[in-house]
Chains A and B, each alone.
Chain A
Amino acid sequence: MLENLTDKLGKALRNIRGTGKLTEENMTEALKEVRQALLAADVHFKVARQFVTDVKEQCVGQEVLKSVTPGQQVVKIIHDELVKLLGEGTTELEDKKPLRIMMVGLHGSGKTTSSGKLARYLAKKRDYRPALVACDVYRPAAIDQLERLAENEGCAFYGDRNEKNVVKIGQRGLDAAKQADANLIIFDTAGRLQIDGDLIEEIKDLKKAIQPDEILLVADAALGQEAVNVAKHFHEAVQCTGIILTKLDGDARGGAALSMKSISNVPIKFMGTGEKPDEFDVFHPDRMASRILGMGDVVSLVEKAQDTIDEKEAERMAEKMRKADFNLEDFLQQMQQVKKMGSLGSIMGMMPGMSGVEIGESEEKKMARTEAIILSMTPQERQTPRLLRGSRLKRIANGSGVQVRDVNALLKQFGQMQKMMKMMRGGKKGKKMMQAMQAQMGDGGGLPKLPGM
């Protein structure tokens, strides 16, 4: 998609090469493309219009740089402007203990799930002792759901299945949290339409009763043009202090984020990125901007790698590679580290221009099989693969459910890898090493190929 927008802009701007300056006239076509791209990403039309006007002002009069194409130059301006807009305001929550947070939003936006995730996040990163209070008295089993989440997170919980008065629940919840010595109290409320007068009154009353420090609007990243009304009305009713954007693990472009931010000026603070409890993070405007423009998410990928891969471990590995005493045990560990970053598919999704690439179920399977083979070896065998002969091979094949030839293939591949490392240690024969490396990459084998790279 990045290529798409850049290409489109490039085409629209091709006439201005050599003219020296971006002007209103030579930008017209390009700006139309930008507007279309924003609308296609579900940005609200008014927001899109305003945004294009702003970008135009930024662009007009700028020198056309020689080093980049006009398309790239304009994309950069747009991207920066988007980051600026999305990132205004702080992602920090109020820094106080106890901290009271009220969650509001439409039906099915992910309030209950986000409540659990937020509790976990703040307990881990900020040493809070959370309590969850179930104020959804409408949706069947909503209370059970929150209780289950509280159990999983090992935090305090308050709910009352016989009480229909949300204000009373809120007040008792506060007391219960105090009793339980919690210093973070999250109130999960029922989903409601922003235009439902009675239910909006209800959260206003609840707000009055519990005096929350933060009111977070939980919104689905895939929301359409409606996002504007949702943000506007909820904000008018209860003065939201932040937005949590959910379901960002889908492939929605997320223009709703821009719409909501622009209309309400409420900062986007967090994002939900998966179904697991820890797939939750502070909001990153630059990533969202890239996403709205369809540019992939390299930063997240790098961070994910940093998060999951232990630096010391990585250094130890590198050292081993240098000394060329890299054995199958290390190989296994390395593979497991890559796996910790998530499925290969999700990793690929973060790469620019790759969001559409179907990454290999088969690659993933191959990796699992390689893992199984190594796991069927004894530690001694992993350290000295030379031992692997005859009956040992057969045992491993049986143990991992493959054929002996598969085990042999793995060993051969591993042998090549070791040879390569020895060459690296030698420091000479650079050319030969490159060739060997290419052969290695070409054959794919245990570690997945990255298509198109």
Chain B
Amino acid sequence: MIVAQRKSIPELQDIIKEKKNILVLGCGTCVTVCLAGGEREVSIISSALRIASKKAGEAIKVNELTIERQCDNVFIETAADEIKKCDAVLSLGCGAGVQAIAERYPDKPVYAGLDTAFLGILESRGVWTEKCAQCGACVLADFGGICPVTRCAKHMLNGPCGGSRIDRCEISPNQPCAWQMIYKRLSDIGETDKLKKIYPAKNWSKSLDGGSRTIIREDHRI
């Protein structure tokens, strides 16, 4: 899922300054799961903004709404009335959600209330870790399901680098060495032969090179 974090209240105040009627718009999908932009967080951030603005001597109206998914026009439509009534939307969706709302309402200021951080998983309660760099050319099949592009600090495809200590990365004792994990995993599943292959330089043309990416499925187009 997409993992995000809220911006600080002073940052948000600066973003919405001079707007008097704000809609704080949450998203019921990824950012709800990572406790950054769901219904509960919309309520908390809205309350904080009302308190902060009153403290600053400003009178702003903050409305709250959470829709099922901000990156989908079908669900964005359900927020149409509230969006039309406000001066600006403070979206607590991910970067995709914010842009989807902005594209759907070209005349309405739409601001991001979160910092979208990474694609990851819930490791344990309150802990999310990055697992995928969305490089566009997945190598997981060759590395036992552990991504060196994301989880190796040097993004090495032919590791380990020699800087690790036992099973820890040299950048931090808290950071496991991805290559140690890859070796152990491939040993466990009997695929260490894969490590004999020298990986060529990665083809980054499928990543952000050349601008934002588009996937077209002709079999699903209308």
Chains A and B are bound partners: no
Binding site for A on B (CB under 8 A): none
